[in-house]
Amino acid sequence: MFQIEEGKIYPKKIHSKSLIRFQDCDPLKHLNNAKYFDYFFNAREDHVAEIYKFDYNDYFEHNHTSWVVYNHQIAYISSAKVSEWVTIISSIVYFNEDTLVTEYVMTDEHQQELKAVLWTTSKYIDVRLGKKTVHPPEVMRFFELVCLDGINFEHSNLNLRIKQIKNELKAGTFVEKEI
What contacts 138, CB < 8 A, 6 or more positions away?
Answer: 2, 3, 4
- In three-state secondary structure terms, 23 is helix
**CA nearest 115: which of 89, 93, 92, 149?**
89
pTM of the predicted model as reported, rounded to 2 decimal places: 0.94
Looking at this protein, which amino acid is placed at residue 135?
A: H
Q: pLDDT tens across 49-68, in order?
A: 999 989 888 999 999 999 99
Bridge partners of 18, per DSSP, are 86
What pLDDT, in 10s, does the model give residues 23-39? 999 999 999 999 999 99
Residue ranges covered by each domain of the chain: 16-171
Provide CATH code, domain 16-171.
3.10.129.10
CA dihedral over 17, 34, 53, 148, signed as positive or negative:
positive
